[in-house]
Chain A
Amino acid sequence: MSALDKLWQALDERLELEPIVEFIRHKVVPTHRHSWAYYFGGLTLFFFFVQVSTGILLLLYYRPTAEAAFESVQFIVTQVPFGWLVRSIHSWSANLMILSAFAHMFSVYFMGSYAKPRELTWWSGFALLGLAMGFGFSGYLLPWNTLSFFATQVGTDMVSKVPFAGAWLLKFLRGGSEVTGATLTRFFGFHVAVLPMLTSLLLGFHLALIQRQGMHVPASLEQESKRRKPIRFVPNFMMREGVVWLLGLAALAALAAFFPWDLGTKADPFGSAPAGIKPEWYFLFVFETLKLLPAHIFGIEGELIGLGAFAAGGLVWFLVPILDRGRPGGGRGRTFFVLGWLVLAYIVGFTFASFAGVFK
């Protein structure tokens, strides 16, 4: 018996690992013409790992104060060996992670994978997307440049519209009435402590649910899935996922080398806001919609109505496993299928229109 076998035996005796190995050995992933959609979740996970590792490297030099934040990022990208690469990959990976998470969410939605018994997976995934956007919002401010400073001012200002708790929430987020060094410090705290902790817990829960329940096969693809031989999770699916991860890595490397993330100019709290100020692309559809609304609708502030509508829309999206009762003959309801396409068209349409300058 080799030393490795002895070690395994010792661990198995103490931790009863054999059932887990058996589970993995027999775990399979169904195949059908849409099984490519199963890779988006893993790809999002890959970008999350990249974020964690590059984020730790950035932490070695980053200083979260209004006086030193911009200079420390400048130091990272100019003086630290490969600092430019780490910072650029961190920024690009953040955006690709959100993109991949959106792709994952819509693929899950259109395949109706949110239905019973996978409601908890949908809800935890929904919360994870919210946390990812929270990462993006809090991380955007950290370089303390002009654009991020004023975008944070606009973004946090929206919170003040929340009825009753708005003023308190604004003060809580900003650490005062204005965006200052106190805001930067607490955004840093959210970004590197609070959000990672919550994400790790939820991510563990989300992955455990997927392992426990297996991949969902839509009713319309069940026959095809039965005809085709499923693939083993280990090693076949993991190796395929590995190819996708390598593709993601290649995209990150190319983007970081050819389009290094711009640092901009240091924020001047007493300066005037630059023209054409915009949030990150994944908030653009909300931002542009709110801008289009009139100042008052039926005597109520337009922005408040807009935010209320987004909150209601988000709630419907969240509750879709309960609201969609499915078709009598099986499969998901047509109403929610059409709704999904409308939401996707709205988000994509508004985002591209914003980049194209349609709303100027």
Chain B
Amino acid sequence: MRCSTAVATLAIGLATAARAAAPAAHAAPAAPAGATADTCLSCHATLTDERLRKPAELAKSDIHLTQGITCAGCHGGDPAAADRAAAMDPRKGFVGVPAPRAIPELCGSCHSNAAYMLRYAPNIPTDQLSQYRTSKHGLALAKGSTDVAVCSSCHGAHGVRPPSDARSPVYPTRIVATCARCHADVALMNKYGIKGNEVAEYEKSVHYAALTQKNDLSAPTCKSCHGAHGATPPGVSSVANVCGTCHVIQLERFDQSPHKDAFAAIDQPACEACHSNHAIVHPQDSWIGVADKQVCAACHSAGDAGATAAGALSGALANAVAAEATVGARVARVKRAGMLMDAAEVKLQDAQQAYIMATVEIHTVTPARVEKQTAAAIADTVAADRDAAAAEREIRFRRTGLFISLAVIALAMVTLIFKIRSMER
């Protein structure tokens, strides 16, 4: 019931519950003619009941009000009337608090009107309502559910800010918490066959870490995979397309692999099978194999062709990682000794790049393609190792030279001291 509660809390509490269950088709409000006295705001701002006063306070930061669309735009009535009864006269279209079921149509009356929206925000889409109708939320609402999200559940009813505003509940860094208001409610979610642990799982993911720790606003949030207004879980067949929106090369490699048809045949979602869905953590090389807790073991077992390929893939990656670790440590040691190791570090970066490409080629599950990249990574580490060896020889040469120089200097000093002593004796 949380969504409807949220709506009730956020919605303006102007009148009693006596209102139409669904208002008649709402016409888009006329464009503001100019600044006129708004008795809705002036009156509600003075009320002692916070439930009635709060909307007037929130409205000050509302994108609609700043554009000249007043309370009457949604609630009807006459904002110019000084008299309370005249201002909230149903004959003047006053509807009071819109019913949750009516909200999508109410918002859509303007937001689906391309000609009207052109005057205010020509760059935002006008298909939100049609998308919403296809969403799980919209479908459930149409079936009569009242505890599903409507526009105001996510955007707020008063004090609506554009999604690009960091204070908006649908801003990238806040949208997860907004979805969690309902989707972390296990009892509510179970009603719809959803576990209710999705947000908690997502918060363990690399995507959430990128969003919250690196402040990467392009990191995927709930809406990136499920859609915003047309929110729906991606089906088995479309999971790969959703992930592939960002992970383009990985998807391309997967499509070239024998897994593509094999997964489709057993109705196995592509990426999710190995990477999970919400709790997507950083992949580890140790996942590859058919041992206990290794991802290939879900379909393959020791001795089959898949297990053999997994062994080859895992071995190729392990060789590259080991070479990079050994040479990286040697280069770091030489650098600490004061040698300039820029060239070796560039080679190690190339090796790391080749290793990353190898982890991408893993999606082809073809050992030859992975080994080609790991061989390139190893070749780069060998080149860096040669630089480190040369630098070590140079250090030895410098220190030998230093000791010889110091010996010569010491000899000269001793000679001088003896000469001075013999002269001054």
Partner of B406, one of A77, A78, A235, A250: A250
Q: Do the beta carbons of A231 and B409 come within 8 Å of each other?
A: no
Q: Which of A74, A78, A246, A247: most chain B CB closer than 10 A?
A: A246
Q: Is A295 part of the contact surface with B, judged by Cβ < 8 Å?
A: no
Q: Are B339 and A235 in contact (CB under 8 A)?
A: no
- On chain A, the residues within 8 Å of B401 by CB distance are 257
Min CB–CB distance B152 → chain A (angstroms): 42
Instruction: Knowing A242-B416, A250-B410, say if A77 contacts B423 (CB, 8 Å).
Output: no
Question: 14 A–B contact pairs at CB < 8 A?
Answer: A74-B340, A77-B340, A84-B398, A239-B420, A242-B416, A243-B417, A249-B409, A250-B405, A250-B409, A253-B402, A257-B398, A257-B401, A258-B399, A263-B340
Contact with A along B266-305 (1 / 0, CB 8 A): 0000000000000000000000000000000000000000
Chain A residues numbered 255-272 whose CB sits less than 8 Å from any CB in chain B: 257-260, 262-263
- Residue A296, interface by CB 8 Å: no
Min distance, Cβ B290 to any Cβ of chain A, angstroms: 46
Taking the complex as formed, is A254 at the interface, i.e. its CB lies under 8 A from any CB of chain B?
Answer: yes
Q: Are A246 and B416 in contact (CB under 8 A)?
A: yes
CB contact list, B335-388 vs A, under 8 A = 338-340, 342
B339 adjacent to A260 (CB under 8 Å): yes
Q: Which 4 A-B pairs have the closest CB atoms?
A: A260-B338, A257-B402, A250-B409, A246-B413
In whole Å, how far is A77's beta carbon from the nearest beta carbon of chain B?
6
The answer to whether A247 and B402 have CB atoms under 8 Å apart is no
A55 → chain B closest CB, angstroms: 21
A236-B423 in contact (CB<8A): yes
B420 engages A254 (CB within 8 Å):
no
Shortest Cβ gap from A266 to chain B (Å): 10
Q: A235 touching B412 by the CB < 8 A rule?
A: no
Q: Which residues of A contact B49 (CB under 8 A)?
A: none
Smallest Cβ-Cβ distance to A253: which chain B residue: B405
Instruction: Contact check, A239 vs B340: say whether CB atoms are below 8 A apart.
Output: no
A240 touches B398 (CB 8 A): no
Instruction: Determine if B419 is an interface residue (Cβ-Cβ < 8 Å).
Output: yes
Contact B338 A243 (CB under 8 A): no
A317→B412 CA distance, assembly (Å):
39
* Range, interface on chain A: 20 to 34
On chain B, the residues within 8 Å of A246 by CB distance are 409, 412-413, 416
A260 to B419, CA, bound (A): 35
Asked if A235 contacts B398 (CB within 8 A), the reply is no
Q: In the complex, what distance in Å separates the CA atom of A254 from the CA atom of B399?
A: 9
**Closest residue to B412 on the A side, CB-wise?**
A246
* CB pair A78 B402 closer than 8 Å: no
A318 to chain B, nearest CB (A): 37
CB distance from B100 to the nearest CB of A (A): 49
The listed residue (B405, B416, B423, B424) touching A243 by CB distance below 8 A is B416
Knowing A231-B424, A259-B338 are in contact, say whether A239-B416 is a contact too (CB < 8 A). yes
User: How many CB-defined contacts (below 8 Å) exist between A and B?
Assistant: 49
Q: Which residues of A contact B398 (CB under 8 A)?
A: 84-85, 257
Interface centre among B340, B410, B419 (most CB of A within 10 A): B340
Q: How far is the CB of A88 from chain B (nearest CB, A)?
A: 9
| A residues near B406, Cβ cutoff 8 Å | 250, 253-254
Nearest-Cβ distance from residue B13 to partner chain A, whole angstroms: 49
Alpha-carbon distance A288/B342, docked complex (angstroms): 33
A271-B398 Cα distance, complex, nearest whole Å: 35
Residue of B nearest to A240 (CB): B420
CA distance A240 to B419 in the complex (A): 10
Q: A243 to B413, Cβ gap below 8 A?
A: yes
Q: Roughly how many angstroms separate A262 CA and B342 CA in the complex, as a whole number?
A: 12
Contacts of B423 in A (CB 8 A): 235-236, 239
Tell me the nearest residue of chain A to B395, going by C-beta: A257
Assess whether A236 is in contact with B424, with CB atoms less than 8 Å apart: yes
Q: How far is the CA of A85 from the CA of B398 in the complex (A)?
A: 9
Which residues of A, 185-243, contact B by the 8 Å Cβ criterion? 231, 235-236, 239-240, 242-243
Q: Which residues of B contact A77 (CB under 8 A)?
A: 340
What residues on A are CB-neighbors of B399 within 8 Å? 257-258
What is the minimal beta-carbon distance from B364 to any residue of chain A, in angstroms?
38
Cα A98 to Cα B287 with chains together (Å): 60
Residues of B within 8 A of A262 (CB): 338
Distance to closest chain A CB from B425 (angstroms): 12
A355 smallest CB distance to B (angstroms): 19
Residues of chain B within 8 A (CB-CB) of A243 are 413, 416-417, 420
Specify which of A85, A236, A247, A260 is in contact with B420 (CB 8 Å cutoff). Answer: A236
CB distance from A252 to the nearest CB of B (A): 10
> Are A254 and B402 also in contact (CB < 8 A) when A231-B424, A239-B419, A246-B413 are?
yes
Q: How far does the alpha carbon of A211 sit from the alpha carbon of B261 in the complex, in Å? A: 96
